[in-house]
Amino acid sequence: MLTDGFHPVPKGKLAMVVTHLEMHAPATIKDVPLPDGISFRAVKPTLEWYRDVFTRVGALEWLWFGRLKMSDAELQAILDDPNVSFFTLSKDGVDEALLELDFRADGECELAYFGLTPNLIGTGAGRYLMDQAITQAWAQNIKRFHVHTCTLDSAQALNFYIRSGFTAYKREIEVDDDPRLTGVLPANAAAGVPII
């Protein structure tokens, strides 16, 4: 157990404060319209599609790396699992969002990944996508919908989840290899997070 005060993080590692959130009943949908020129659709992703959208949504800006360090076989098993659903928002024929809902735990749904590329941030598309996430999750007769976010994610993420109806219930510290040093991500990813 951690004691109060500072704790060293070894060189080459990242430390993140992770906040876990949940809802036990459907939150009120904001019912915002889909912004003009943007379409919503379910996706049966290929490895190439998933890695491309995952990288453009979260890896280069926010250091999302968990799925990028998986082998093809590990990631393909998730993409093929009938209890995991994928959705996107498209603009001008390009997929610009990732919504991944994981129903593999009985009676639950994890909002595994949720995000937009910079091309959609600030358009209202995030609120629309969250309405879809809530609708799709609770349509499966679940008892709990949960998500986690961390201090490497957008500074707006935690408050967005709370405004969307999630309640924080647990906090953890996660330590992992810096993906820019292991070659999973380029060295210039997440310029605001120094490599140590």
Say whether pLDDT at 106 is over 90: yes
Token pair of 63 as six digits: 């250091």
Topology of domain 30-142+156-181 in CATH is Aminopeptidase (3.40.630)
Q: If we measure between CA atoms, which residue out of 75, 84, 87 comes closest to residue 102?
A: 84
1-39 tens-digit pLDDT: 778 999 999 999 999 999 999 999 999 998 889 999 999
Which stretches within 37-124 are classed as H helix?
Answer: 47-54, 60-62, 72-80
Q: How much is the pLDDT for 31?
A: 84
Under 8 Å between Cβ of 143 and 1: no
> In which residue are the tokens 């292991």 written?
182
43 has which bridge partners?
Answer: 86
Q: Where on the phi/psi map is residue 5: left (φ > 0), alpha (ψ -120 to 50), or beta?
A: left
Under 8 Å between Cβ of 30 and 131: yes
